[in-house]
């Protein structure tokens, strides 16, 4: 199974994705160099972790002391064996969360999202959405082993990450809709540096750099249009098909021809087969086929009118089916171009008319690969 179509309980948590994106961005950017010898200089990466608990003894009991849990006093594979308090390391702890109403603008815009269809393929859709701005406050603590490392990591923060930083995360559930979110955070101007002066037997004596960050991001509120199930009834006659599909495309084969009670094709005067006609009794209309798709040719057709019913021919079959329908709007693969309008001459438009309407026109054309992203 491909990694993109795996589903987990954590997928639809936007806050979690924003915090994980912060950890990935800090892990990728922050490092410093250490001179090992006269000929060797190493780059020291600073890994960042999320604070899952405030009690260090709880973490050790849960993840470190595992020898007694394994068979024959062997280490249990579900736990770590030994001390993994790596130095240097960074700890990220969530401290606050708030909605920023001052940035809440432009409600009910059209947004794009991706969703997995029944065949396991990703398709693009559009829906109205509202981007709700949020501010996530986190406390950062970087543990170091020496005063010199403390100086170097502070300088690395200033040189590599001051001031604004951006990153993107993909959030959402595959069965509901996935989307990309932009997040931003700015490094602070002040950094608190702590170095141990007094020691005891239980103290590790780590040097620390602490500061706070505010992550500006969004939680999108999509108006997802849900799928529905509907029962359809179709009656086939010698000359026509009557049903309540509204649009027969996707339901009815456009190559259907007229047949008699024995299933034999009905031929015209020239010996050619005759295409079937479709009447819709939900939204009264008549549809005719061009061999590839159904085209609406008339409206207001009352299928209960006796004069019209007399042209149907003999009734052959009646069947019902329950089918899943989606009200989601697929993403339109269109390219738009703005050019000079052929309705007016540039510079001679009406002064009371809009400039765009006077001098420009917008044209659209379909992408060559059609409506589906997988084509």
177 Ramachandran zone, left/alpha/beta (phi>0; psi -120 to 50)? left
Q: What is the mean pLDDT of residues 236-263?
A: 87
For residue 115, is it within any domain?
no
Residues 35, 159 share a domain: yes
Q: What is the mean pLDDT of residues 71-84?
A: 52
Residues 285, 299 share a domain: yes
Residues 264, 148 share a domain: no
- For residue 362, the tally of other CB atoms under 10 A from its CB is 10
Residue in 19, 13, 14 with CA at minimum distance from that of residue 218: 14
143-152, 202-211, 273-282, 359-368: which has the minimum mean pLDDT?
359-368
For residue 106, is it within any domain?
no
Q: What is the pLDDT of residues 255-266, one digit of tens each?
A: 888 888 787 888
CA distance 229 to 325: 6
How sure is the predictor about 359, in pLDDT bands with cuts at 50, 70 and 90?
very low
Residue that the structure tokens 């047949």 belong to: 259
Residues 164, 16 share a domain: yes
Residues 6 or more apart in contact with residue 314 via CB below 8 angstroms: 237, 238, 260, 261
DSSP designation for 57: H
For residue 77, is it within any domain?
no
Q: Where are the beta strands (DSSP E) in 21-163?
A: 31-35, 41-45, 48-50, 89-99, 109-116, 122-144
- Residue 365 preceded by cis peptide, ω within 30: no
CA distance 170 to 183: 11
Spatial contact of 256 and 275, defined as CB atoms under 8 Å apart: yes
Domain of 340, in residue numbers: 332-366
CA distance 115 to 179: 9
**Structural domain total, the chain:** 3
Residues 249, 205 share a domain: no
Burial class (CB in 10 A: 0-12, 13-18, 19+), 39: exposed
Spatial contact of 330 and 290, defined as CB atoms under 8 Å apart: no
Residues 30, 143 share a domain: yes
For residue 110, is it within any domain?
no
Q: What is the mean pLDDT of residues 77-106?
A: 78
Residues 191, 42 share a domain: yes
For residue 128, is it within any domain?
no
- 87 has pLDDT over 90: no
Give whole-number Cα distances, 72 to 64, 67, 139, in Å. Answer: 17, 9, 43
Q: What is the dihedral of CA 105, 107, 111, 116, to 10 degrees?
A: 120
Q: What is the pLDDT of residues 223-238, one digit of tens each?
A: 766 566 678 889 999 8
The segment with the largest mean pLDDT, out of 57-66, 111-120, 275-284, is 275-284
Residues 210, 266 share a domain: no
Q: Do the strands 122-144 and 207-222 form a parallel or antiparallel pair, or are they unpaired? A: antiparallel
For residue 73, is it within any domain?
no
Show the DSSP H helices in 64-165 as ranges.
147-161
Q: Where are the beta strands (DSSP E) in the chain?
A: 31-35, 41-45, 48-50, 89-99, 109-116, 122-144, 164-173, 177-186, 192-194, 207-222, 227-237, 240-243, 277-280, 285-289, 294-299, 315-326, 329-330, 334-340, 360-366
Round the average pLDDT of the chain to a whole number and report it. Answer: 77
Residues 300, 239 share a domain: yes
Residues 266, 202 share a domain: no
Residues 313, 241 share a domain: yes
For residue 274, is it within any domain?
yes
Give whole-number Cα distances, 126 to 17, 113, 217, 330, 367, in Å. Answer: 22, 6, 21, 6, 17
pTM: 0.58
Q: What is the pLDDT of residues 155-193, one digit of tens each?
A: 999 999 988 999 999 888 888 888 889 999 999 888 777
For residue 60, is it within any domain?
no
Percent of the chain with pLDDT over 90: 28
**Phi/psi at 160 (nearest 5 deg)?**
-95, -25
CA distance 359 to 338: 10
Residues 294, 344 share a domain: no
Q: What is the pLDDT of residues 302-327, one digit of tens each?
A: 888 888 888 898 888 898 887 766 66
């Amino acid at each position: 199974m491909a990694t993109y179509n795996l589903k987990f309980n954590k997928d639809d948590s936007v806050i979690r994705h924003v915090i994980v994106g912060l950890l990935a961005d800090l892990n990728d950017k922050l490092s410093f160099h250490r001179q090992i010898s006269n000929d060797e200089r190493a780059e020291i990466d600073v890994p960042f972790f999320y604070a899952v608990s405030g009690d260090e003894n709880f973490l050790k009991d849960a993840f470190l002391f595992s020898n007694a849990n394994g068979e024959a006093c062997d280490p249990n594979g579900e736990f770590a064996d030994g001390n993994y308090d790596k130095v240097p390391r960074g700890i990220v702890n969530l401290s606050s969360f708030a909605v920023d109403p001052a940035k809440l603008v432009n409600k009910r815009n059209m947004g794009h999202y991706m969703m997995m269809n029944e065949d396991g393929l990703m398709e693009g859709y559009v829906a109205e959405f509202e981007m709700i701005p949020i501010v996530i406050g986190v406390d950062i603590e970087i543990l170091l082993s020496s005063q010199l490392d403390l100086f170097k990591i502070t300088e690395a923060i200033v040189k590599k990450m001051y001031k604004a930083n951006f990153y993107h995360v993909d959030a959402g559930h595959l069965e509901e809709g996935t989307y990309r979110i932009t997040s931003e955070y700015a490094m602070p101007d002040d950094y608190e540096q702590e170095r141990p002066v007094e020691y005891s037997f239980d103290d590790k004596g780590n040097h620390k750099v602490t500061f706070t960050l505010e992550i500006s991001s969004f939680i999108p509120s999509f108006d997802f249009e849900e799928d529905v199930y509907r029962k359809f009834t179709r009656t086939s006659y010698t000359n026509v098909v009557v049903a309540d599909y509204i649009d027969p495309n996707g339901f009815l084969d456009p190559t259907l021809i007229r047949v008699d009670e024995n299933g034999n094709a009905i031929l015209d005067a020239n010996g050619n087969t005759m295409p079937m006609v479709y009447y819709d009794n939900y939204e009264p209309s008549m549809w005719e086929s061009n061999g590839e798709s159904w085209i609406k040719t008339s409206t207001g057709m009352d299928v209960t009118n006796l004069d019209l019913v007399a042209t149907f021919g003999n009734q052959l079959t009646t069947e019902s089916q329950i089918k899943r329908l989606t009200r989601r709007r697929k993403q339109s693969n269109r390219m738009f171009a703005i050019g000079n309008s052929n309705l007016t001459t540039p510079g001679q438009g009406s002064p009371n008319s809009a400039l765009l309407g006077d001098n420009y026109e917008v044209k659209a054309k379909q992408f060559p690969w059609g409506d589906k992203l997988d084509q």
